[in-house]
Structures are given as structure tokens and as C-alpha cells.
Structure 1
Amino acid sequence: MSSANLAEPDFVVVDVETACSRVSSICQIGIVGFRGGQEVFAWETLVDPRDEFSAFNIGIHGITPHHVAGQPHFGEIHAQIDAHLRGRVTVAHSWFDKGALAAACRVSERAEIATDWLDSVRVAKHAWPQLENHKLNRLAAFLGIEHHHHDALSDARAAGMVIVKAIEHTGIDLKGWMAKPDRKRAQPPAPALDGPLKGQRIAILGEPRDGALAQHLAAAGGRIVASVGSTTNMLVVATKQPYGRWAETSEPYRKANALRAAGKPIVIVSEADLRAKLKRQG
């Protein structure tokens, strides 16, 4: 069903499932449009990812090579996806789906889709800060939303209802959620004069550079930098970060790997491993 024949939605929601750890390997996509708090259209399809299927991913969503046999590949449905998303507010639950669509566009040599993105995880954290986590299945249970986890259409529908209920709960409208926070750029803590990390230039994946992890590393002498660059010595992957198991597909992680491949002495380490090492040294 094309959204072009329907009332213009206030926002659309997209969710994808992937066949393997490569985020470009989209094997299912679901898109739902909302207007005035109500669903106005839904579109979904299985996709031939033209890639391998990992047992891990199959265990999550249940989609196998058999299911996508004869289904269109991403390049063949790019125009339909573009028609649904381009020029609109597009909601996704975390930035994974945004990254997956961008990667699939690159791999299939199609133009990146121009849309205004809204992360429903950020919205949910603001609306219901008391929740232990803001994963989609947890939110759906908390808000009483019917939901079949890791089905792209059901996930998109549930993420859309998170936005609808957040608007109802907080009184902040869609324009308010889209507004960029008016805040000063986070300033990193000054490094201690001495410590086991003295001389290390450290980027952090998944936490702000003025957060608790940054404070801990700076206290050990590390200098916290804004991003991975040619002079970065270490990338620390925070334990609680928005990429989850997809951290290796994030831009900072890929950049750090590229620098290592080019012979730069940069270490990639998890927060847990680094904290344990510092504790032993302390």
C-alpha cells in the first residue's frame, strides 16, 4: 500500500531485521504511518539480503534463507521505502535502523534516504525515566501495547505507539520532541596528573564525555577526547550503550578498526575489561 494515496502522516516509523552482523543485510522491513495518534498505513516486506544468514540472527527473528527466496532485494524496493520516508519525520527505536538503511543504500548503490530522524529510545527515557531499561519489548509491556518482538512491522507499530503515548503522557508534541536540546557541549573532565592511563587519549563509545565512565578514566590519568582520530590511543566501549550487540558496526568502532589496520597503535577495549585492569593496577 502506498502512503501517497493517504492523508499525510505526522510521522512514519521504520524497523528492520538483518540476516547477519553486517547491518546492510536487511531481510525484513516494516513501515507504519501515524496521524493524530492513529495508524494510517502499514507496509512490510521480506527482503533478499544477498548475504549470509547467521544462526544468531535467525535465533532472534526466525527468518531463514528459505523465507526470503524469491523476495526482492533492497535495490528493488528502495523507491518504495524512499516514498514512505523522504521528507517526513521518521521514528526508529535506537539508531540501528537508520544505520542499516544507510548501509543498505551504499551496498546497493542507491541514494541515501533524506528524512528527519527521531529516536524513540530517547523519547522514552525522557517520558518514563523510572524504567530500568527502555527496550521496545519492555516498553510495550509497560504501556500495554500489543507487540510481537523482532517482527519488523510489529516493532515499527510498537515504536510508533511509544511516541503517541509519550506525547499524551508528557504534553510535549512532535515538534517539541524534534527540537534539539538547548545545552552546552559536554566538557570532559581534566586528567589527573598521574595514573595508569597517563598519556592515553581515550574516546568513549556509548556514553557522554563528561559522564561517570569519563570521570573514572580521567581520574586514572586518561585524557578524554571527543571522537576517534589519528592521535587516539584507546576506544572504550561503554557497558550500557545504545548500539548493544551492534557496537562493532558503529562509526567510532569502524574508524578505530580502520586506524588499527593502517598501523596506528589504538586499542579497543570494553569498559568492564578496562575497569578490571585498572582495579588490579590500583
Structure 2
Amino acid sequence: MIDVETACSRVSSICQIGIVGFRDGREIFEYETLVDPCDDFSPFNIRIHGITADHVVGQPTFPHVHSEIDAMLSGRITVAHSFFDKGALASACRVHERTMIQPIWLDSVRVAKRAWPELPSHRLNALTRFLGVPHKHHDALSDARAAGMVIVRAIEHTGIDLKGWVTPANPGGGAAPKPSPFGPLKGERIAILGARRDGSLARLLAEAGARVVASVGTNTTMLVISNEQPFGRFVSASPAFRRAEDIRRKGQPIEIVGEDELRMRLGP
């Protein structure tokens, strides 16, 4: 888990780096350093993190810490809250002519939005208040630790393991089965929330004559809420559900139905 603070609007101007290592949901190490960005400090950035040019006098520059950071991150799953930190590292490597640091990136914002879609904000300080995680906002080490805890709590909350979060979500799966020319759902265009387009539910729908589509659109006639959907009781906050409701409000006929109800309609 990593967080960086920058001295000015140039994202290469890293002035603080915080890294916290986790294993099996537990913190195993921490690393923090101030960095001389070899750049200007803007009043705006100073107001955010409180780091000034005086604080970095005598501190290492990015080239001096590059190999250490690279050894800690490259090839490992690395969490950042948004991909600002990813861009900052890449920009600093280019500006200082160092090899790119190449972790396996995981955005804790994306994870949080999927784990807790009902929350009005997924900013790191809002999440730590919600989760009860101690946090000093815009301190690189504290931010890195907090981003790591977001992942730990999301795993506990959803049951999706770290590998599941790193693998890009692809509920559409592979190619949808070809619809039967006959059946009670002939002519229906059905999107599925929470299950693959090549899974057992999709095959059932296709056998009943429906065309299974990748996402909710203006031509979709039904959204089926799979029993496997990951949003729990907050499914109504999911993007697909909200899209279907928006289409319905605009006068388009689209039905939202649960998997069990639909199976009962289709019979044995």
C-alpha cells in the first residue's frame, strides 16, 4: 500500500512517500520518508499536507530512494487510493530518468465503490470514518495504511479475496449463449447483474428464448438480479440497477426481477 504527497501541481514533485506492507490482513512493515522533490513548493499543496521546502532540506531525492521503492513494490500487489500515486511514481521515474516501478496496481476507490455502493462518498477520509479506522489525512504513511485497511475490510465484508479484487471485474464473462428461437422469453433482451453471460443463469435465459446482453441499455427489456450479486441488500445502489431505474423513469419499459422469481416463472 502506497501514498505519496507532492510539492506542487507537477505530479513528479514527490515530497513524501509512505508504504505499508500487509500479509493475510495484518500489517507486517512500514516505510516512510520525506523526499527532496528538486522542485518548487506551491502554497496550495503546503496547505494540504503541511510539508514545506524547509522540511526536505537534506532529505534524499527520488533517485536516491528509487531502488528501495522498486524493491518493495515491483511485481507485488500495490494498493493506492485512486491512481494518482501510480501516475506520480511513473512521472518521477521519467523526470529523473529511472526505470519504471511496476507493481500490480489495485485501486482502493474502485474496491470501496463496489463493497459499499450505498456510501455518498468514497474519499479516503470518509471511508476511514465509516470503517472506524484511525487516520491522519494527507500524511503519506497514514494514507497508505488507511488504503490497506479499506482492502482488508472490503475482503471481510464481501468475501471476495485479494485475487478476486485484483482480477478485473468481468461479470459479463465470455460470449453469451445463442438464444433459442422458441420459448417464453423470446424477444426479450436481458442483462444480468452479478453473474457471467456464459454462466448457468445466462444459459437458462437463452434456452427460454432471451438474448443476454452485456449491460443495461435503452433496448434492454429486463434486468435480472442474480443470487450471486455482490452488493447484498444495497443492490439498488449498484450502477446497473440505477441505470435500469433511470431508463424506466424516462418511460422505457424495463423490468427488474430477482433470479428466484424469474426461475419460478419459467417453471421446472
Shorter-chain TM-score above 0.5: yes
Aligned length: 182
Confirm whether residue 179 of structure 1 aligns to residue 167 of structure 2.
yes
User: What amino acid maps onto 2:136 in structure 1?
Assistant: H
Unpaired segments of 5 or more residues in structure 1?
A: 1-12, 190-207, 213-282
Question: Shift in Å at residue 183 of structure 1?
Answer: 5.3
1:116 aligns with 2:113: no
Match of 2:63 in 1: 75
Counterpart of 1:66 (choices 45, 54, 69) is 54
Taking structure 1 as reference, are residues 129 and 67 closer, same or farther at Cα in structure 2, changes over 3 Å only? same
Q: Distance in 2 between matches of 1:115 and 1:186?
A: 31
Q: Distance in 1 between matches of 2:140 and 2:38?
A: 18
**Can you list the C-alpha shifts for 1:230-280, whole angstroms capped at 9, x where unaligned?**
xxxxxxxxxxxxxxxxxxxxxxxxxxxxxxxxxxxxxxxxxxxxxxxxxxx
Question: Quick check: 1:145 aligned with 2:133?
Answer: yes
The 4+ residue runs of structure 1 with deviation greater than 2 A are 183-189
Following superposition, the deviation at residue 36 of structure 1 comes to 1.2
Deviations 1:182-236 (A, max 9, x none): 25688999xxxxxxxxxxxxxxxxxx9xx99xxxxxxxxxxxxxxxxxxxxxxxx
> Structure 2 CA distance, aligned partners of 1:183 and 1:87?
26
Deviations 1:125-144 (A, max 9, x none): 01111110100000000000
Over the matched positions of the two proteins, sequence identity in percent amounts to: 68
Q: Distance in 2 between matches of 1:67 and 1:186?
A: 51
Match of 2:153 among 153, 156, 165: 165
Look up the SS of the partner of 1:57 in the other structure: helix
Deviations along 1:65-93, one digit per CA (max 9) or x if unpaired, are 00000100001100000011011000000
Which residue, 25, 40, 43 being the options, matches 2:13?
25
| Structural RMSD (CA) | 2.2
1:243-262 superposed matches below 5 A: none
CA–CA distance in structure 2, aligned partners of residues 102 and 125 of structure 1: 25
Q: Flag the structure with larger Rg.
A: 2
SS in 2 for 1:28: strand
Q: Tell me how far apart the structure 2 counterparts of residues 131 and 80 of structure 1 sit (CA, whole Å).
A: 37
d(CA) in 1 for partners of 2:24 and 2:157?
15
The one-letter code matched in structure 1 to 2:36 is D
2:97 maps to amino acid: E
How many Å separate the matches in 2 of 1:103 and 1:183?
33
Equivalent residue letter for 1:48? D
* Whole-Å separation in 2 of the counterparts to 1:183 and 1:136: 26
Assess, with a 3 A threshold, how the Cα gap between structure 1 residues 125 and 50 changes in structure 2: closer, same or farther. Answer: same
Mind listing any 5+ residue stretches in structure 2 that lack a counterpart?
A: 173-213, 219-238, 244-268
Q: Which amino acid aligns with 1:96?
A: F
Change (3 A) 1:53 1:129: same
**Alignment partners' CA distance in 2, 1:138 and 1:115:** 26
Match for residue 222 of structure 1? Answer: none
Q: Any idea what SS the aligned residue of 1:17 has? A: strand
Whether 2:44 is the aligned partner of 1:56: answer yes
What corresponds to 1:101 in structure 2? 89
1-side partners of 2:22 and 2:86: how far apart? 19
Question: In structure 2, how many angstroms separate the alpha carbons of the residues matched to 1:188 and 1:73?
Answer: 50
Q: String of CA shifts for 1:81-107, please: whole Å, max 9, x gaps.
A: 001101100000000000000000000
